[in-house]
Each structure stands twice: as structure tokens, then as C-alpha cells.
Amino acid sequence: MKLGFTAIALAALLSSGLSLTALAQQQQPTVPDAPTPQAPKPLSDVDGPITPGKGAGDEQPGPTSSSNPSVQQQHAPRSQAPSNQGKDEVQNTSPEMPAAGEGVDKVTTLIHMNVNFVEVPVTVKDSKGHLVAGLTYRDFKVFENDTREPIAFFTTDSFPLSIAFVLDQSLTSDVMAKVNNSLGAIQGALTPYDEVAVFSYNNGAQERTGFTGAQSGRLPAVLALTKETGSEMLVPINDGPMAGCNIRQNGNCVDPNLQPGRSAGGNTFMTIPKEIHTLNDAILAAAKELSTRPKGRRRIIYVISDGKEYGSKAKYAEVLRYLQTNKTAVYGTLVGDSARWGESYVSRLHIPGMMYDNLLAKYILATGGTPDFEGGTDGIEKSYAKIAEEARNQYTLGYYSHQPFIDGKFRKIEVRVDRPANQVEVIAKNGYYPSGQDYR
């Protein structure tokens, strides 16, 4: 039955005039044609032909290099671009400048996110010692290891202060009395956002209180307890009944330091004991306490002293490295002999084996702080507000170091301002040591 039905259907199709070839074409599905090959589009941003291994050159193609008019048009020479003479080739982009009041939070975020971000507080003064305001990032240039770094962050926001006050109690009694009378003005120079710790030193450092609110009732109470009478400058006695060791017990000197033949000399002469001023130990103790403060705060050590140093266990180079690693600046009000005119510069000279007459000035210059030299109570009181203002109102610059992540080497920093050198004074730290604590 099936064969018969198929034969009948075939006969009907043949009778209708359709050929077998046409029938086969109707039954097969249509297949689309393959795409026609297209010539590649010319590069719109290439000035010359592309040579393997060399890239785009400046040579113009010959008449046989391309038959496409559009390609020849692309190879046509362009007009020369204007030169960049007079422009800053390093600082070609604007740094990040957060809105007013957001600079502190932003710089803290940058420190956490970027492992090579360096923060540099800068103080700029004019020839009269007044702060210079209104500068922009275009006025600054930052160099690290003599290589200029583009400024990536710039803000003029005020940072809250974490201040460790260090009081020298080895001062003479007359100078100590002036310092004692001025301590009540410290709290008036601070804001409720600041915090204060108090240290003192004579023969060793002593922490009077940890960090407390600058406007709390604890601070004036601690400062009142820190007052001392100071030392008396007595005339040494080298002969007579009071010289040598005149108080004996069982044939021995009661005080071995005054026993003849030892530190006090013999029966014919007396070696005067050296003064003890443990400035290095006091600054190191304050710096350790400051290193625990959170990021986003200015870490400041404020020293009230004559700058003398002798008898500390810590060495100057060790303490300075700790300060430069933990972003701590030293400020100071120098009193006593160091406050005399011209004495502050002469006393920086050091004779080997002798006492440092003004080591505090070296700390201040190396860490980006500012000194103030005052001899009277009124001047000492004003210096508190003056230095607090300078520490609070600074330009904060930030850049990304080109040096390796953490190599433990000192990195020199130099900040310049686009002003005549005799008109402005730029105060910033002279360098730093990279630390892994910044990247926690």
C-alpha cells in the first residue's frame, strides 16, 4: 500500500510540470552565504606606519603602501603639538584636596590603604615669624632622597593634638620659679579636642599622668603637683674642713662619691661632681607613650627646659630614630641660659666628653618642630599658646614614596616653597624611617 501511494504522488507532481531537480531544491533548507572579507579599519591615533618591534614611527608611507584613500589620509602628518615649556612636568595633576573638615579622616584612610603614603606637616613663616596663610599645593615642592615627588594629598585642616609635656626639674631655683608660675597657662592654649600627658625629669624620667583631656580637671591638678623648687648653684669648696670627706664611719667615707681619691679627688684637690640632666630618657619615655595614640592626631613632645643633657641611658641617635619612625615632632620653650641672646646658638657646640648645653635644639630642628626662647614668666606663658597655634595650623602634604616598601633606611625629605628664601622660612621634618606600624 505504501509503495502504491508514493508512486501515485510522484506521478501527480510530474504531471504538474515540476522537475526532480526543482523538487530537491524546494525540500533542502537555504544556507546563508559566508561573510565577505573586509579590509581592517585604519588606526585613528597613529602618526606613522607600524613596524614590528618598533611600533608606530614618524615615517610617511610611500605611494604603494596602501591603496585605500582613507588610510593615506590617516597617515598624513599632523600639526605639531604645542610645547609644555613653562609647565610643571612632575606635578601635572592636581592632588586630592578634601573639603574643609574632612582632611583628618581622609589622610587616616590613605595611611591605611596605601603602603607607601608619606605624610609631611609643614609650617611656613614670614621674615617676622608670623604664619603664612593662603598657600596652595602649587607653591610646594617635596623631595625625597633628592628626587621630586608629586603631591598626592593636600589639606589645611587643623589636626587634634596629642601633647606630651616634659618639664625639666633640674633647672636652677630662680628659673624653676618662673616655670612654676607659668604652668597655669598651659590649659588655656589647648582645645577640648586635644589630649595631654605630663612627664618630668631630673635624674631619670617620671610619668606624672597618662593622656587625659586637655580641658579636664585632672591636668591642672597634675601640673600643680609637678612643681619643684629646682637646684641651687652653690660655690664648690675645694679645701678647708668642708672639703673632701670629713664625715666618716668606721674609717670609711659615709658617701663613697665624696671619698678622697675617688670622684672627689684627694686631700689637696676636689673633683666637682657633674650635673645630671636626663633629657634623652625623658623624651624617649614621652615618645613611647605617644606611639600608642591613634592615627589622625599630631604627635607632639613639648619640652620646657634649658636643653642640657648629661647622664641619660638612651643615646641621642637612638631617641631621634624612634621619633622619626613614629612621626613625632619635638617643640620646646628654652629657658635659663639657653634663652639668652646668642647663647642658644653658641651652646649648640659640643665638646666631646663634656655635657651637652643645648641638645634640645637638635631634636627640634630634626623633627620639624619650632623653638621659643623666653626668659620671663610672661614670655613663657605666651610661648604655650604660640607653639600650640603653630602645631595646629600646618599645611599637610602627602605623597607616594618611590622607595621600596620597608627597607629600614633613612629617607631624607626636603620641602621647598615657591617664594624667595629671604621672605619665608619652611619648617618640616628632615626625614623619616619607614615603619610597619603605619600599615596595620
Looking at residue 165, its pLDDT comes to 97
Asked if 57 and 51 count as a contact pair (C-beta separation under 8 A), the reply is: yes
d(CA 233, CA 144) in angstroms, rounded, equals 47
Side by side, which strands form the sheet with 424-427? Answer: 153-155, 395-400, 117-126, 424-427
**pLDDT > 60? residue 12:** no
pLDDT at 40 exceeding the cut of 70: no
89 or 125: which leads in pLDDT: 125
Rounded distance between C-alpha atoms, residue 61 and residue 139, angstroms = 47
Region 75-96: what's the mean pLDDT? 58
Residue 256 neighbours by CB distance under 10 Å: 11
Which CATH code for domain 161-232+275-392? 3.40.50.410
Cα 401 to Cα 143: distance, rounded to the nearest angstrom? 10
Q: 225: Cβ–Cβ under 8 A, 6 or more apart, which residues?
A: 208
Residue 79: pLDDT band with limits 50, 70, 90: very low
Q: Looking at residues 296-322, what average pLDDT do you find?
A: 93
Is pLDDT of 83 > 50? no
**What pLDDT, on the 0 to 100 scale, is given for residue 421?**
84
pTM, full prediction: 0.69
Per-residue pLDDT, 369 = 94
Choice between 245 and 409, residue whose per-residue pLDDT is larger: 409
Q: d(Cα 161, Cα 110) in Å, to the nearest integer?
A: 19
Is the confidence at residue 201, as pLDDT, over 80? yes
Non-local CB neighbours of 155 within 8 Å, separated by 6+ positions:
97, 98, 103, 106, 107, 395, 396
Quick one: cell of 265?
679627688
Q: Which three cell numbers stand for residue 378?
A: 610672661
Helix (H) or strand (E) holding 378: helix 377-392
Specify the pLDDT at position 295.
Answer: 82
Would you place residue 328 in the very low, low, confident or very high pLDDT band (cuts 50, 70, 90)?
Answer: very high
pLDDT at 288: 96
Show Cβ contacts of residue 328 under 8 Å, excluding neighbours closer than 6 positions. Answer: 287, 290, 291, 299, 300, 301, 322, 367
Lowest mean pLDDT among 60-74, 92-106, 361-375, 386-400: 60-74
Q: 346 versus 206: which is more confidently predicted?
A: 206
Q: What are the grid coordinates assigned to 193, written together?
A: 579636642
Average pLDDT over residues 13-29: 54
pLDDT bin (cut points 50, 70, 90) of residue 68 is very low
pLDDT in tens, 110-119: 544 446 889 9
The pLDDT confidence band at residue 72, using thresholds 50, 70 and 90, is: very low
Of 181, 183, 185, 184, residue with least CA distance to 173: 181
- Cell numbers for 155: 589639606
pLDDT of residue 329: 96
Where in the chain are the domains?
A: 161-232+275-392, 237-271
